[in-house]
Chains A and B, each alone.
Chain A
Amino acid sequence: MERKTPLYDRHEAAGGKIVPFAGWLLPVQYTGIIAEHMAVRTACGLFDVSHMGELELNGSDSLANINRLLTNDFSGMYVGQARYSPMCYESGGVVDDLIVYKLSDTRYFIVVNAANKDKDRDWIMAHLYGDCVLTDRSDEFAQIALQGPKAEEILRRISDDIPAKYYSAVPEGKAAGKACLISRTGYTGEDGFELYCAAEDAADLWDALLEAGRADGLIPCGLGARDTLRLEAAMPLYGHELSDSINPYEANLGMFVKPEKPDFIGKAALEKARPVTRRRVGLEVTGRGIAREGCPVYDGDRQVGLVTSGTHCPYLGKAVALALVEVSCAEVGKQVILDIRGKRVEAKVIPLPFYKRSQKKD
């Protein structure tokens, strides 16, 4: 039985096409995936991401626990700073990828994928030690993402608490009179914010944001555009680019693994995992077709990998894919063949990310 977020009624009223996702009922689109995708790239889009999980760690050993559970190094953060990290099994495979916010020296706020929330909570609980308590606060929070070049301008109309730096937050901010953690993060490749508010304040905050951004072209956007945007920006999605059988090095996330840390779960396995034999690349489909998840990748007649995510990207106007391939086929420029439903279609390895906001076309 799927659950509704606090914004369900808003989605229905706005004509959202509701679908089940990770145990929740959410809109896959309102006006259309392409229109919503382009709105985020050119103006601004509003997303209900309340399905994400929020876990909190409290206690003097919180930092020690986080550094043991996660591959990145979380020491030296200022209050309000955020860092991204994979969380690994002893094998080096990934439990989930997540973002940690420092709220104080003894309080850390962790945001996890909706589909993995229970698994992550159980995993963390099983490994906690010392003076540290985990609280699952997912049901207390709603989360709204405001993403696009106009995001800051729009947010300023209802809030003075604008985090200045990417990957930083104002933990006790206010927007439209509602208390919220306002974070300068996102999953679209654009400038933007993620606002964490009390579930009961979500509808009012959603309305206030839509009203504040209406004249700038702010529209609500669904899961469909969320996926095309993150794929265009080459951002990984757990279960596709990362999984229990794909380690962070294979996923090109080595910069979030700190082997110089004294110890963390998966450290020994990850040390032995390098050099990797396969890794994530970006592909552009040069022939006719759209490559999708699961599509085999060939070098001549030999299969060398698989597509992990792929679609037609609205802003770029072409079919691109993320794939996991043997390192011999991972150099930019390498021509490969994709098997798209029985047809051999040409593709080539191109640099990532596919889209970068500093290089916008006019």
Chain B
Amino acid sequence: MNIPAELRYSRTHEWVKMEDGVAVIGLTDHAQSQLGDLVFVNLPAVGDEVFAEEAMGDVESVKAVSDINSPVGGVVSAVNEELEDSPQLINEKPYEAWLVKVENPTGVEELLTAQEYETLIAAEQE
């Protein structure tokens, strides 16, 4: 299972990369493998406010819909439009297919390290 060391993680399987004070957010490799083939993504709009640990959109696989939770609080400054036509990019390259960017994010310190996330997944498998 791919868990890049330089990223931070939420308990609900989102990853966060800090880029000049902006939080870039995506779904982890574990998440995409659990969800299966993704066929649809519903993302918030630029300017929407998001809240840490609260749903900000959803992804749909063939079989089901799953919430995407924002790992941080803040305002959406960018949305990855590529995912509208090609949601499968999340399955193919989960750490490149970012979902949204959030500026002035709060709650970053509460995020898990790669090590802590790995422990979380291992515990969930039991």
B62 interface residue per 8 A CB criterion: yes
A143 interface residue per 8 A CB criterion: no
Are B40 and A289 in contact, with the CB atoms below 8 A? yes
Given contact pairs A311-B62, A312-B62, A314-B62, A32 touches B40 in the complex (Cβ within 8 A): no
B4 interface residue per 8 A CB criterion: no
Are A33 and B36 in contact, with the CB atoms below 8 A? yes
Are B60 and A33 in contact, with the CB atoms below 8 A? no
- State the CA gap A319–B42 with chains docked (Å): 15
- Min Cβ gap A275→B in Å is 36
Interface size class of B (residues with CB under 8 A): under 10
Are B63 and A224 in contact, with the CB atoms below 8 A? yes
- State the CA gap A98–B60 with chains docked (Å): 32
| Chain B residues near A311 (CB-CB < 8 A) | 62-63
- State the CA gap A290–B87 with chains docked (Å): 13
- State the CA gap A341–B65 with chains docked (Å): 10
Which of A28, A228, A290 has the most C-beta atoms of chain B within 10 angstroms of its own C-beta? Answer: A290
B53 interface residue per 8 A CB criterion: no
Per-residue B-contact encoding for A177-197, CB less than 8 Å = 1, 0 else? 000000000000000000000
| Chain B residues near A319 (CB-CB < 8 A) | 40
Are A228 and B62 in contact, with the CB atoms below 8 A? yes
| Chain B residues near A34 (CB-CB < 8 A) | 37, 39, 62
Closest to B61 in A: A33
A138 interface residue per 8 A CB criterion: no
- State the CA gap A149–B117 with chains docked (Å): 45
A147 interface residue per 8 A CB criterion: no
Are B36 and A290 in contact, with the CB atoms below 8 A? no
Which A residues between 29 and 81 are near B, CB-CB below 8 angstroms?
A: 29, 32-35
Are B60 and A312 in contact, with the CB atoms below 8 A? yes
Are B40 and A224 in contact, with the CB atoms below 8 A? no
Are A33 and B62 in contact, with the CB atoms below 8 A? yes
Per-residue B-contact encoding for A309-330, CB less than 8 Å = 1, 0 else? 0011010000100000000000
| Chain B residues near A312 (CB-CB < 8 A) | 39-40, 60, 62
- State the CA gap A224–B65 with chains docked (Å): 14
Per-residue A-contact encoding for B17-46, CB less than 8 Å = 1, 0 else? 000000000000000000011011000000
| Chain B residues near A28 (CB-CB < 8 A) | 63
Are A32 and B37 in contact, with the CB atoms below 8 A? yes
Interface size class of A (residues with CB under 8 A): 10 to 19
Pick the contact of B36: A224, A227, A341 (CB < 8 A): A224
- State the CA gap A33–B36 with chains docked (Å): 8
| Chain B residues near A35 (CB-CB < 8 A) | 37
| Chain A residues near B65 (CB-CB < 8 A) | 290, 292, 341
- Min Cβ gap A219→B in Å is 15
Which A residues between 128 and 180 are near B, CB-CB below 8 angstroms?
A: none
Which B residues between 75 and 126 are near A, CB-CB below 8 angstroms?
A: none
Which of B39, B40, B65 has the most C-beta atoms of chain A within 10 angstroms of its own C-beta? Answer: B39
| Chain A residues near B37 (CB-CB < 8 A) | 32-35, 314
- State the CA gap A282–B46 with chains docked (Å): 35
Are A29 and B36 in contact, with the CB atoms below 8 A? yes
Are B63 and A290 in contact, with the CB atoms below 8 A? no
Closest to B87 in A: A312
| Chain B residues near A290 (CB-CB < 8 A) | 39-40, 60, 65
Which of A29, A35, A311, A312 has the most C-beta atoms of chain B within 10 angstroms of its own C-beta? Answer: A312
- State the CA gap A227–B37 with chains docked (Å): 14
Chain A residues within CB distance 8 Å of chain B: 28-29, 32-35, 224, 227-228, 289-290, 292, 311-312, 314, 319, 341
Extra pairs beyond A32-B37, A35-B37, A311-B62 (12, CB < 8 Å): A29-B36, A33-B37, A33-B61, A33-B63, A224-B36, A227-B63, A289-B40, A290-B40, A290-B60, A292-B65, A311-B63, A312-B39
24 chain-A/chain-B pairs, Cβ below 8 angstroms = A28-B63, A32-B36, A32-B37, A33-B36, A33-B37, A33-B61, A33-B62, A33-B63, A34-B37, A34-B39, A34-B62, A35-B37, A224-B36, A224-B62, A224-B63, A228-B62, A290-B40, A290-B65, A292-B65, A311-B63, A312-B40, A314-B62, A319-B40, A341-B65
